[in-house]
A and B are shown apart, each in its own frame.
Chain A
Amino acid sequence: MTDSADKLAAPYAAPRSTGGLLTDIKRIATFTIMRLVALFVTVIIGVYLAILVANMGGQVDQLRIVQIESGIAERFRADPAFFDLPSEQRQALIDTQVQMEIERLRLDQPFIRRSVDYLVQAISLNLGRAEQLHSDAGSRQVRDIIVERLPATLLLFGTANFLIFFTSIFAALYLSRRYGSGLDRAVIGLAPSSAAPPWFYGIFLILIFAFLLGALPHGGMVDVPPPEGRLAYAASVLRHMILPVTAMFVASIFISIYSWRTFFLIHSSEDYVEMARAKGLPGRLIEQRYILRPTLPPIVTSFALSLIGLWSGAIITERVFNWPGVGTLLFQAIGQTDTPVIIGSVVIFAYLLALTVFLLDVVYAVLDPRVRLAGGAR
C-alpha cells in the first residue's frame, strides 16, 4: 500500500522541492502507516462491537451449540456402526461427543476470552460456514459467498459514485460561474429532493420504466438466460444498471451540486482569487489553479463521507432492484436468519469502509501539502 502511495506522490512532489523529495516520500509513508494502523484499530473496534452485539444474551453461542448437537446426532444416526446400540448408550455417546466439541471450541469459557477468539477469526476473514445460504458455485463458506457477490456491488456503486462525483463537481463549477441564473435557482430548488434515499426513487423508476413503459428490466443483473458472448453479456448488464444508477444519481445529485456550488462560491470570493482575476488570468486557469486546487482536500474528504453513506444505502437499493450484490445477500440472510452470513457481511462492510477511508486518506496526503510538510501531525 505504501509503495503505491509513494508512486502516486512522486509526480506531485518532484517539481516542488528538489532536495525534499525523499523527505516528502518519507513523510507520506509515515502518514500512511499511521493512518493504516489507526484504521485497523478502528476496524477491530467496529468488528468487536458487532460481535458483542451479535452475542449479547448468548444468542450466537446458543446457535452454535444447537448446530454442534444436531450435527453430531445426525452423524450417529447415519452411521450403521451405531445401529445396534441401545438408545441410552447412544445418547450417552452423543452427549460426551457434544461436551468434547464444546470444550474444543471453548464454548464453556467465559465470553470475554471467547470474544477475542471470534475477533481474531473475523479479522482474519475466517467467517465460518453459512447455515442456509450457499454460493452459486455451491460453497457453504461465508467468505466464498460474500466474495462471489462483491464484484456486483462494486460495479454498481462504483459507477454510480463516480458519475455523481464528477457530474456534481463540474456542474457546481459551471453554476458557481453563473450564480443567480435560472438554472442555478432550479438546482437550489431541487436540492430538498435528496431527502429521499435511492431505493425510494428506485421504486418510482421501476414503476414507470419497467412496468408502465416496459422499456427497461425491473431488476436483476443480466437477462435470464444470460446472453452468449462477452459483448452481449456486457450490454445486458449495462441495460440492467441503468435504473439503479439513475436512482442513486437522482437521489444525491442535486444536494451534491448545491453543496459544491456553495463551497466554490465561498472560495471564489477569497482574496487570492480576486487577485488572480485582477491580474486578468483566464477563467479556466483561475478555476483550475486558484479554486479547485486548494479545495481538493475537503472535496476528497466529503467524497469519502458520501461513499460511506452509500455503502449503507447499498443494502436497500440492491434489495429493491434485486441486484445480486452483498446488500441482497444480507437481505436474504436476514430472511433466513443465517447469523454467520449476517455477521460476515457486517465484517466485510467494516473492511470496505475502512478501505475506502484509507484510499482517500492516501489521496488526501498526496493532495494536501500540509501533510507532506508536517509529516503526519495533522
Chain B
Amino acid sequence: MNALRNLLVQLRQYPSALAGLMVVGFLLGLAAFALVAIPYSQALELWRGGAQWQHYPVNASPAWSNWFRATNLPRTVRVESRAEQAVEERFEGGRILSMPLEFDYHYGAFPSEMNLFLSAEFAEREPFMRLTWHTPDGREIPVGGRRISRQERVSISQDWNLERRLGGLPHVQLLADPNSNGLPQVLPGRYRLEIEAILFEPEATLEATLVAYGRVYGLAGTDHQRRDLMVALLWGTPVALAFGLLAAVGTTITTLVIAAAGVWFGGWIDATIQRLTEVNMILPLLPILILVGTLYTTSIWVMLGIVVALGIFSAGIKVYRAMLLPIREAPYIEAARAYGASNSRIVLRYMIPRILPVLIPNFVILIPGFVFLEASLAVLGLGDPVLPTWGKVMNDALSEGALYHGFYYWVLGPAVLLMLTGLGFAMLGFALDRIFNPRLRMI
C-alpha cells in the first residue's frame, strides 16, 4: 500500500503520466459502463442488426455535428397512431377508420427517407387503406392506397408512382415549399398524414407508425445497416481492453518464466530457448494470424491465444535474460538453494519477482500494441464474427467508402477511441519507465 502511494507521489511529477492515468481511468469507466448498460447477449443481439433497427436512419451523423453546421439537420421524427385520435365510421360489412398522424417539422433540411409501418390484426380479409398528405399551407396530396397484410412497411420514399407524380423524391417534395425556386426548401410547420382504412371485420385493428428518418442520430451516428454506432463504440472498449491486457499479461508472464527457467537451468535448455527465440523472431505474426483467420476462425479469443503462443519466445527473452543473469548469482538465491528450495520455487518465487517492477512499464507500453493488432485484424476483414469492436466499425466504414462519401464520423469515432487508448497507456508507460528505471531519469 505504501509502495503504491509512493508511486502515485512520483507519478504526480509527470503531467503526461497523470493525463495517461486519467485516460486509462476513463476507458476503464467506459468499459464498466458498457458492461452494465448493455449486457453481453444484448450487445451481440443488437450488433447482429436486422428489423430491430428499422426505425433508425441510414448513415446518420452524430447529433452534435449540427453545432458545426449552418443548417439544422433533422433528427428522426416518429409518429405513432393513437386510438383516441382515430375516428370510426361503421357501415354494413365493416367500418372506416380515419387516423391522423401529425407532426411538426422545423428542420433546415429534408428527412433522409420516409416509411410507414403498419400492423394490422384480422382473421381473413385484408383491410384496405388510402393515404392523404396534408401540408401546413393546406394542400392535400394523395399518397396512394393499398391492401394491408399483417405487418407492412410502406416505403413512401421509394414509391415510384408518387415520385413521378410529384416530380422529385417523395420525402423531399412532400415537405417542400411549393414557392421555392431552384433547390427545394423545407416548408416548416405542422404536417399530417391521414390514413383512411377500411376494415372488413368487426374485430380487426390497425396501428400505424410514420417514420421520417433524420440525418443525425445520437452521440455516435448510425452505419449502413442503420445500427447505432454507440453500441460498437461502447462495447468495443471492454473488448479492446480485455484483448490488450490479456495479451500483454500472457506474453509478458510466459516470456518471463521461460527466460528465468533458461537462465536458472542453463545448458541445453538455455540454448534451445535461445534458438527458438531466434526462429520466432522471424516468424511473421500477422500473416500467421491472417492464415488462421482465413482458414479456421476469426474468433477474437483464438487470435488472442495465437498472439500469446507466438509471443512466448519473443525478443523480450533476450532482454529478460540479460537482467536475470546477475540475479542468478545473487547471495539470496544461494541461500535459498542452501535451505533446499526446489528449482520451480527459486525461479517463480525468487528470480521473477525481483525483476517484475522493471517490467511494469514495458507491460503497460505493450497494451496499445495489442489493441491496435486487434483493430488491424478487423480492418483486414478478420474481425470477430459476432462481437462489436472498434476495428470492425472502421472496416465497415472503409469498405463502404465512408471517407469518399463524407461520413467522417464513422471513421473518427473508433479512431479517436483507439488513439485515446494508445496514447493513454503509452504516456503512462513512458512515465513509469522513468520512475522504475532510474538510469533514464537522470537523462
Chain B contact residues, majority secondary structure: helix
A308 touches B282 (CB 8 A): yes
A46 touches B290 (CB 8 A): no
B287 touches A339 (CB 8 A): no
B380 touches A39 (CB 8 A): no
A199 at interface (Cβ–Cβ under 8 A)? Answer: yes
A196 touches B403 (CB 8 A): no
In the complex, how many angstroms separate the beta carbon of A352 from the nearest chain B beta carbon? 9
A376 at interface (Cβ–Cβ under 8 A)? Answer: no
B427 touches A218 (CB 8 A): no
**Which A-B residue pairs are the 7 nearest by beta carbons?**
A192-B426, A195-B422, A195-B368, A195-B426, A312-B286, A349-B284, A353-B282
A343 at interface (Cβ–Cβ under 8 A)? Answer: yes
In the bound complex, what is the Cα–Cα distance between A188 and B286 (angstroms)? 29
A204 at interface (Cβ–Cβ under 8 A)? Answer: yes
* Chain B hits for A346, CB < 8 A: 284, 287-288, 290-291
In the complex, how many angstroms separate the beta carbon of A183 from the nearest chain B beta carbon? 15
Question: Restricting to B275-309, which residues have a CB under 8 Å from any CB of A?
Answer: 278-279, 281-288, 290-296
* Chain A hits for B403, CB < 8 A: 203, 206-207, 210-211, 218
* Chain B hits for A111, CB < 8 A: none
* Chain A hits for B166, CB < 8 A: none
A189 at interface (Cβ–Cβ under 8 A)? Answer: yes
- Indicate which residue in A38, A45, A312, A357 contacts B285 across the interface (CB closer than 8 Å): A312
In the bound complex, what is the Cα–Cα distance between A218 and B286 (angstroms)? 25
In the bound complex, what is the Cα–Cα distance between A330 and B430 (angstroms)? 35
A315 touches B290 (CB 8 A): yes
In the complex, how many angstroms separate the beta carbon of B216 from the nearest chain A beta carbon? 20
A50 at interface (Cβ–Cβ under 8 A)? Answer: yes
A46 to B, closest residue via Cβ: B283
**5 more A-B contacts (CB under 8 A) besides A196-B418, A203-B403, A210-B403?**
A60-B295, A188-B430, A315-B380, A339-B294, A350-B283
B15 to A, closest residue via Cβ: A189
Q: How many A-B residue pairs have CB under 8 A?
A: 144
- Indicate which residue in A199, A210, A262 contacts B376 across the interface (CB closer than 8 Å): A199
Q: Can you spell out 9 A-B residue pairs with CB atoms less than 8 angstroms apart?
A: A50-B291, A54-B291, A59-B296, A179-B443, A199-B376, A319-B380, A330-B290, A337-B294, A346-B287
Question: Restricting to A36-61, which residues have a CB under 8 Å from any CB of B?
Answer: 38-39, 41-43, 45-46, 49-50, 53-54, 56-57, 59-60
In the bound complex, what is the Cα–Cα distance between A271 and B174 (angstroms)? 85
* Chain B hits for A53, CB < 8 A: 288, 291-292, 295
Which B residues are within 8 Å of any A CB, using their own CB?
16, 20, 278-279, 281-288, 290-296, 315, 365, 368-369, 372, 375-376, 379-382, 394, 398, 403-404, 406, 408, 411, 415, 418-419, 422-423, 425-427, 429-430, 439-440, 443
In the complex, how many angstroms separate the beta carbon of B283 from the nearest chain A beta carbon? 5
In the complex, how many angstroms separate the beta carbon of A119 from the nearest chain B beta carbon? 15
A305 at interface (Cβ–Cβ under 8 A)? Answer: yes
A192 touches B16 (CB 8 A): yes
A358 to B, closest residue via Cβ: B282
In the bound complex, what is the Cα–Cα distance between A60 and B369 (angstroms)? 32
A196 to B, closest residue via Cβ: B422
In the bound complex, what is the Cα–Cα distance between A367 and B412 (angstroms)? 46
* Chain B hits for A220, CB < 8 A: none
A255 to B, closest residue via Cβ: B426
A334 to B, closest residue via Cβ: B294
* Chain A hits for B368, CB < 8 A: 195-196
Question: Restricting to A185-213, which residues have a CB under 8 Å from any CB of B?
Answer: 188-189, 191-197, 199-200, 203-204, 206-207, 210-211
A192 and B430 contact, Cβ closer than 8 Å, known pairs A207-B408, A350-B282 = yes
Question: Restricting to A157-193, which residues have a CB under 8 Å from any CB of B?
Answer: 179, 188-189, 191-193
Q: Convert A351-371 into 0s and 1s, putting 1 for each residue whose CB lies closer than 8 angstroms to a CB of B.
A: 001100100000000000000
- Indicate which residue in A56, A57, A199 contacts B379 across the interface (CB closer than 8 Å): A199
* Chain A hits for B372, CB < 8 A: 195-197, 200
In the complex, how many angstroms separate the beta carbon of B299 from the nearest chain A beta carbon? 15
Interface centre among B282, B290, B315, B419 (most CB of A within 10 A): B282
A345 touches B287 (CB 8 A): yes
In the complex, how many angstroms separate the beta carbon of B420 from the nearest chain A beta carbon? 10
B411 touches A56 (CB 8 A): no
In the complex, how many angstroms separate the beta carbon of A111 from the nearest chain B beta carbon? 15
Residues of A in contact (CB 8 Å), total 61
A200 touches B415 (CB 8 A): yes
In the bound complex, what is the Cα–Cα distance between A60 and B282 (angstroms)? 24
In the bound complex, what is the Cα–Cα distance between A54 and B295 (angstroms)? 7
In the complex, how many angstroms separate the beta carbon of A14 from the nearest chain B beta carbon? 32
In the complex, how many angstroms separate the beta carbon of B366 from the nearest chain A beta carbon? 10
B282 touches A335 (CB 8 A): no
A262 touches B291 (CB 8 A): no
In the bound complex, what is the Cα–Cα distance between A308 and B376 (angstroms)? 17
Interface centre among A193, A195, A315, A335 (most CB of B within 10 A): A195
B282 to A, closest residue via Cβ: A353
A265 at interface (Cβ–Cβ under 8 A)? Answer: yes
In the bound complex, what is the Cα–Cα distance between A49 and B280 (angstroms)? 11
A233 at interface (Cβ–Cβ under 8 A)? Answer: no
Interface centre among B20, B281, B368, B443 (most CB of A within 10 A): B443
B16 touches A189 (CB 8 A): yes
In the complex, how many angstroms separate the beta carbon of A212 from the nearest chain B beta carbon? 9
* Chain A hits for B365, CB < 8 A: 195
In the bound complex, what is the Cα–Cα distance between A331 and B294 (angstroms)? 10
In the complex, how many angstroms separate the beta carbon of A290 from the nearest chain B beta carbon? 18
In the bound complex, what is the Cα–Cα distance between A210 and B288 (angstroms)? 33
* Chain A hits for B278, CB < 8 A: 38, 42
In the bound complex, what is the Cα–Cα distance between A38 and B275 (angstroms)? 9
A262 touches B415 (CB 8 A): no
* Chain A hits for B290, CB < 8 A: 315, 330, 334, 342, 346
B398 touches A320 (CB 8 A): yes
Question: Restricting to A291-347, which residues have a CB under 8 Å from any CB of B?
Answer: 305, 308, 311-313, 315-316, 319-320, 330-331, 334-335, 337, 339, 342-343, 345-346
A195 and B282 contact, Cβ closer than 8 Å, known pairs A56-B296, A339-B295, A342-B290 = no
* Chain A hits for B284, CB < 8 A: 46, 311-312, 346, 349-350, 353
In the bound complex, what is the Cα–Cα distance between A211 and B411 (angstroms)? 13
- Indicate which residue in B292, B296, B418, B430 contacts A191 across the interface (CB closer than 8 Å): B430
In the bound complex, what is the Cα–Cα distance between A357 and B279 (angstroms)? 11
A377 at interface (Cβ–Cβ under 8 A)? Answer: no
Question: Restricting to A251-267, which residues have a CB under 8 Å from any CB of B?
Answer: 262, 265-266
